[in-house]
Structure 1
Amino acid sequence: MDNAMPFPRYIMAHDVGTTGSKTCLYRIDDRLEQVDACLAEYPLTMTAGGGAEQVADDWWTAVCQSSRRILANSGIPAESVAGIAFCCQMQGSVLVDRMGKALRNPMIYMDGRAVAQHRKNLCHGLFRIGGWNGFKVLRSLWVTGGLAATPKDPLWKYHWVRDNEPDLFRQVHKWLDVKDYLIHRATGRFAMTADSANLTFVYDTRKGRQGWHAGLCHTFDVDMQHLPEVVHAAAVVGGLARTAADRMGLAEGTPVVGGGGDVTLTAIGAGCTDPYDTHIYVGTSGWVAANVEKRMVDIGNFIAAICGAIPDRYNYVAEQETSGACLQWVRDHLARDEIGVYLKEKAGKTDAREEIDHLYELLNQIAAETPAGSGGVIFTPWLHGNRAPREDAHARGMFFNLGLSTGKRMLVRAVMEGVAFHKRWMLEAVEKKIPRREAIRFVGGGAKSDVWCQMMADVTGRRIETVDNPQDVGAAGAALVCAVGLGMLPSFDRVKQMVPSRRTFAPEPLNRKVYDRQYTVFTRLYKNNRKAFAALNKH
């Protein structure tokens, strides 16, 4: 395809996250235009010992159902869809047989069961760095630019299955991430994009040397036959197979582009394509990520660069385990009675997405009506542990400085402020390696909230910019990568102009003073309570 080509200029993008799959249909023109969006939800199962699993067929069913629904809603013919791409949660471990069938429920990024495997393979040796085997650490950093430093990394999930389910492990044909499993369901081809390959930490990320590294596979006891072909984000992996096309309601042979993980494609969808462009993401999880032109790692702050969607670019990422999930916790537990009444009254009148959106509108209204600082209450957003800048699976959330005058409204706002404090903590750690950015793009579902946008500006002291449909930037990134791969865009250089800033929030000086004082306390809370967290939560 080329720029002179007439329609079709539609792309279907699937953003497969922790709680559901969002399918978005885009028209590619002078700017990226979202035609329609559709959400299909699925469950998350928490298991004993820190496990977190999902059913692989649930992902595929959600993708197919939302694809058909969006075509029906939009009235766009299947033949007008020029290509599809996936943006998916990362750091999952999907073990499949020769037919591509998942052999067990995939262990997703939140799964922390592999403590024994992590300790056995990384935490022994005479020469130690930060408690890890020094030789393995240095070799991994040299080759991959990072390290599988926690039990939640896919490498140790791979070992957990081998150690605990040996009969099943003998049937493994390929080791995939979430997106790569869905690409196989769509095309019948086993392939993995470089960002997911990077996070196995047996993939060489050095420029000019990219590929599976036999030495690291030997060091970490990984069978190289289990590793799929690695493709670029914008590469056409294959055409949509007949069975997949029938289920999705699309035309057989529709090109399927490599796409990428949520972190890498969110950068594209946020319009952050130049060196050091930085974005803050608040979805179920969260992160701060910056584009860089070379590999970087900060072991002390648990931050590293992974391969980006743009060739020879990396995303320097600090992750937060629970971000928007904290507001969901507020919805389900602090305001449960009110929400129960609301849902009973609205039953059958609106769809689930409209109900959820309205509930969040009410919570945002409460937060907007509550003064900055929440009466001195501080919340720590570590409901499922912490990653950057202090990795600790035992850390938990807490409300600090409660008083007799503390009300539920203060708690609601404190949760949102706590997420913003943590983003500032990560942003400051990221900027130890890159130049300070005065303008930051804020994306994800959290960026739909004006009060959270203003809060983020006040807490960080930066100019916060948002884009159209900020909750769908992952899907937008997948669509833009697909457009580059199909030649509908000449290169990634065109992306920034297609994703302009729509609103800007400047810091308010009075709020800034309040937040600076509370932020100082916030950063001390983890250090002061680290041992208590371990005493209560270490098994």
Structure 2
Amino acid sequence: MGVYVIAYDVGTTGIKTCIFEIANSIKLVASAVEGYNLYIEENGGAEQNPDELWNAMCTTTYKVIQSSNISSERIQGISFCSQMQGLVLVDRNGEPVRRIMSYMDQRSYHEMRDGIANGIKISGVNIFKLIRSIKITGAVAASVKDPVWKYNWVKCNEPENYKKIYKWLDVKEFLILKCTDQFVMTKDSAFGTMLYDIRDGKNCFSREMCKMLGVDIEHLPDIVNSSDQVGLLTEKAAFKLGLQAGTPVFGGGGDASLIGIGAGASETGDTHIYLGTSGWVSTVVKKRKIDLFSMIASIVGADDCTYNYFAELETAGKCLEWVKDHLALDEINIYLQKVCISDSFESIYKNLYDFMLEEIKNIPAGSHGVIFTPWLHGNRCPFEDSNARGMFFNINLDTGKRDLIHAVIEGICYHLRWQLEAQRKKVNASETIRFVGGGALAPLTCQIISDVLGCKIETVENPQNVGALGAAVIVAVGLGILLNVEEANKMIKLDKTYYPNHDNKLVHDRNYEAFKMLYKNNKSIFHTLNYVE
């Protein structure tokens, strides 16, 4: 009989809670999902209610315990895979002083400009601060969405809230606090602050970086390893979750750190592509790499021996959610076609993506010349521009909804190709790509990304659960069941393999070149229409 653990995948719009059995393999026993809101504000703000996240965690934990028929006493540990670079500011009692500022929040332009984008510059960053930052942290806070500028935004715009701050946490660290009463931050989250000193023998927040970027170092918590047992479940938290007090809680990691582990792509040179609400291309590297021009950096991973060379697209699957809401099932009741999918609204929600993909399966490669750009909330890589937006290009009188929806999937894949090509300028990304996330559930999407990249694509079983699976691996390492995260690779089963269609790739090569030109040719227009002073 194996060991049972609970893993929480804390996403942008919902949490997935999974029970895994760890033995000779890692088996999913039960899962439950609960959504919460992402509050988008006109000034570029993107916030979440921390109580909504905690309540969703409690609700789903009850559900998986009940549906699995596994008693809470048999749960040997819990951990987290979470969205990263959120800003959760809490007081001495562990209570949030304001709502979470999401990684998508982009209102801190003035704070970033005044903090690092002044004087003599390279790639828009002060050259002296750039050099010093890279030497100390291996990265630079060059994006308006980096949490250090959100912190400074609160300091400048909400002084009363700033006075209440005891500690700065990331999203999963807030949930760890709710579970254990411990104020901690894992190394990968600490790296995401752009204040973490990665130099040999340091493993701490840098006083120099804090001074340079205007941060009170006393606001930063203790740093722990991903596989560390950071505390035990308190009586209060155990009651809320329906678990046993004293259950070990492990540090876990951010999604950028753990999804590659859950994908079975954790060895040096392994490349995976993730398509969920956000999307990215990530390659495991031994040494730090940084590309300031393409906004790609080496992120500290859950394994101390490696980094993840990471390129992010913030609105990937979010674009498909937009399609669902406004093209397929919109506010004026225009559907793809008048059919009854189900009498249950819940079933409609679950099946509508499949329905959309079934409807567009016969649209040819290139979507009859229509191109979509997936920058619905700005973009970070391979160009940083909070003013960039999505568009449909080259529509004609014959263009229909099916063309538009098909073009959205292709546009996401074109952007991921752009990021993969940028990575290959600096590292040897693998020729065979592991493709994971909810997007990997659809064979059509898997084939399109294979055709667009010209690469062999591999998927794994339950690709939508790889974040939680990565967190389960961390518990296994923490409990001593596995020696390291690489040992989990042999326990993760491949599902399907896709090979590129040569004729389709020729069409995509043409459209891809046009796709890249759309940003260059419209950059100034984006600024005119969307810049907020």
2:288 maps to which residue? Answer: 295
Measured after TM superposition, the shift of residue 133 of structure 1 is: 1.5
Give CA deviations for 1:413-452 in whole Å, capped at 9, x if unaligned.
0000000100100001011111142100001110011000
Equivalence for 1:76: 70
* Corresponding residue to 2:131 among 138, 161, 166: 138
Q: Which moved more, 1:357-366 or 1:129-138?
A: 129-138
1:530 is aligned to 2:523: yes
Question: Does 1:428 pair with 2:385?
Answer: no
Check if 1:98 corresponds to 2:92: yes
Is the CA contact 2:327–2:335 (under 8 Å) kept in the aligned structure 1?
A: no
Paired residue secondary structure (1:466):
strand
Shift of 1:188: 0.6
SS of alignment partner, residue 76 of structure 2: strand
Deviates more, 1:333-342 or 1:416-425: 333-342
State which of 222, 227, 237 in structure 1 corresponds to 2:230.
237
1:183 to 171, 176, 185: 176
Per-residue deviation at 1:387?
A: 1.1
Partner of 1:495: 488
Q: 1:477 & 1:388 partners in 2: Cα distance? A: 25
Residue 363 of structure 1, aligned match among 356, 359, 371: 356
Establish whether residue 45 from structure 1 lines up as the match of residue 28 from structure 2: no
Give the secondary structure class of the aligned counterpart of 2:92. Answer: coil
Residues 303 and 36 (structure 1), Cα distance of their counterparts in 2 relative to 1, 3 Å cut = same
Check whether the contact 1:331–1:339 (CA below 8 A) recurs between aligned residues.
Answer: no
Q: What does residue 21 of structure 1 align with?
A: 15
Residues 49, 113 of structure 1: 8 Å contact kept: yes
Q: Does 1:391 align with 2:384?
A: yes
Partners in 1 of 2:405 and 2:217 — Cα distance?
A: 49
The Cα of 1:338 is off from its aligned counterpart by: 5.4
- How far apart are 1:57 and its partner, in Å? 0.7
CA contact (8 A) 1:378 1:418 kept: yes
- Alpha-carbon deviations, 1:453-508, whole Å to 9, x = none? 00000000000000111111111100111111111223223111011221100001
2:105 to 111, 132, 141: 111
State the 1:328 CA deviation.
0.8
Greater displacement, 206-215 / 410-419: 206-215
Unaligned ranges ≥5, structure 1: 1-5
Identity of aligned pairs, percent? Answer: 47
Say whether the 8 Å CA contact 1:207–1:312 is kept in structure 2: no
Q: 1:218 to 1:342 in 2, by over 3 A?
A: farther
Cα offset, 1:222, TM superposition: 1.1
1:34 aligned onto 2:28: yes
What's the CA shift for 1:344?
A: 8.8
In 2, distance between residues paired with 1:131 and 1:116? 13
State the distance in 1 between where 2:160 and 2:431 align: 54
How far apart are the structure 1 equivalents of 2:339 and 2:216? Answer: 50
Secondary structure, aligned partner of 1:387:
coil
TM-score (normalised: structure 1): 0.96
1:88 is aligned to 82
Give 1:312 deviation, angstroms: 2.2
Deviates more, 1:62-71 or 1:493-502: 493-502
CA drift of 1:346 comes to 3.9
Q: Match of 1:15, as an amino acid?
A: D
CA distance in 1, matches of 2:336, 2:232: 46
Deviations 1:253-280 (A, max 9, x none): 1111000111111011111111010110
RMSD of aligned alpha carbons: 1.5
Show CA shifts across 1:209-256 (max 9, x none). 221111111111211110100101111101111111111111111111
Query: Given the superposition, is the C-alpha separation of residues 436 and 153 from structure 1 closer, same or farther in structure 2, using an over 3 Å criterion?
Result: closer
Deviation at 1:311, TM superposition (A): 1.4
Amino acid in the other structure paired with 2:212: T
1:103–1:339: structure 2 CA closer, same or farther, 3 Å change rule? farther
Amino acid corresponding to residue 44 of structure 1 in structure 2: L
SS at match of 1:502: strand
- Tell me, yes or no, if the aligned pair for 2:375 and 2:388 is still in contact at 8 Å: yes
Cα distance in 2, alignment partners of residues 273 and 150 from structure 1: 27
1:512 paired to 2:508: no
Contact 1:367/1:451 (CA < 8 Å) preserved in 2?
no
Contact 2:377 2:386 in 1 (8 A): yes
Q: CA deviation at 1:512?
A: 1.0
Unaligned runs of 5+ in 2: none
CA contact (8 A) 1:441 1:465 kept: yes
Instruction: Name the structure 2 match of 1:483.
Output: 476
Q: Secondary structure at the match of 2:100?
A: coil
The answer on whether the counterparts of 2:15 and 2:33 sit within 8 Å (CA) in structure 1 is yes
| CA–CA separation in structure 2 for the residues paired with 1:155 and 1:315 | 21
- Aligned match of 1:64: 58
Using the alignment, how far apart are the partners of 2:247 and 2:84 within structure 1? 25
Which residue is 2:189 aligned to? 196
SS of residue in 2 equivalent to 1:161: helix
Deviation track 1:254-311 (CA, whole Å, cap 9, x = no partner) reads 1110001111110111111110101101111111011111111000001001100011
Indicate the residue corresponding to 1:246 in structure 2: 239
Other-structure match for 2:457: 464
Secondary structure in 1 matching 2:172: helix
Tell me the CA shift for residue 343 of structure 1: 11
Which residue number in structure 1 is paired with residue 267 of structure 2? 274
- Does the CA-based 8 Å contact 1:26-1:479 persist in structure 2? yes
Separation in 2, partners of 1:31, 1:254: 23
Residue 339 of structure 1 deviates from its aligned partner by: 5.9
Correspondent of 1:122 among 116, 123, 136: 116
| TM-aligned CA deviation for residue 208 of structure 1 | 3.2
Taking the aligned partners of 2:348 and 2:6, their CA distance within structure 1 comes to 25
| CA distance in 1: counterparts of 2:104 and 2:85, whole angstroms | 9
Write out aligned runs for 1:156-235 (5 A): 156-235=149-228
Structure 1: distance between partners of 2:20 and 2:381: 34
Count of residues in correspondence between the two structures: 529
Contact 1:343 1:355 in 2 (8 A): no
- Give TM-score scaled by structure 2 length: 0.97
- The alignment partner of 1:183 has SS state of helix
> Secondary structure of the equivalent of 2:252?
strand
The 3-state SS of whatever aligns with 1:454 is: helix
Q: Given the alignment of the two structures, is residue 261 of structure 1 paired with residue 234 of structure 2, yes or no?
A: no
For residues 461 and 115 of structure 2, what CA distance do their matches in structure 1 show?
A: 45
Match of 1:330 in 2: 323
